[in-house]
Structure 1
Amino acid sequence: MKKEDMQTRKQKWFKKIEEEGKLLDPKEDHSRGLRALQNPMRREVLKFIGENTIPFGKIKSHFNLDESSLRFHLTMLEQALYIEQINNDWRLTPRGIGYLKNVEPRN
């Protein structure tokens, strides 16, 4: 994704979550993010999605998880604002992309 496109997407995303009241107190926000990322499966889900938009079924089959387990992991990541759902597909938010870019080692 081009730097300009990412900047525009980031601004729109931030405005959207602010309007939806999803911005938390920084302490709670960091706590929620830490809880979400402590689980190795959720970090693997972020890496699998990457810069793509992936259907629920494809994530489910890739990780060989039952539906309720995957929904639990996706909900944790969504509540921590690392991913967002678009219809039945999932993609990383600017925060999720930033995590992969700045924290996760690249292969």
Structure 2
Amino acid sequence: MIGDLCADGTLKLSRVLPGLAGAQRAGAGCAVWQVLAAALPVLLPEVPRGLPDLLELATVAAAQVGARGNVPGLAQVAGRAGGSRLVREARRLRTVLEG
């Protein structure tokens, strides 16, 4: 749901991120990872402002809970040429998820 709302502009990712980061720091890493794992497949193709920050948080949460697996669309972003922050953060998350 957060992915849909941020993708269509109803919510600003920059307003959602602080709450998610706070929840992760407070020990709700599993819940945060579940939210982000559901949101990322919707957000990755849209590339909203703040997506690199969301990917960074997803990497921290995934590492904290030992998440493994695939996020649809992540490999495509991580496989892009160049060294933009978006691509770097996508690669970091992919590395964590690959274990």
**Common fold: TM-score over 0.5:** no
Structure-1-length-normalised TM-score:
0.28
Higher helix share: 2
Higher strand share: 1
Structure-2-length-normalised TM-score:
0.29
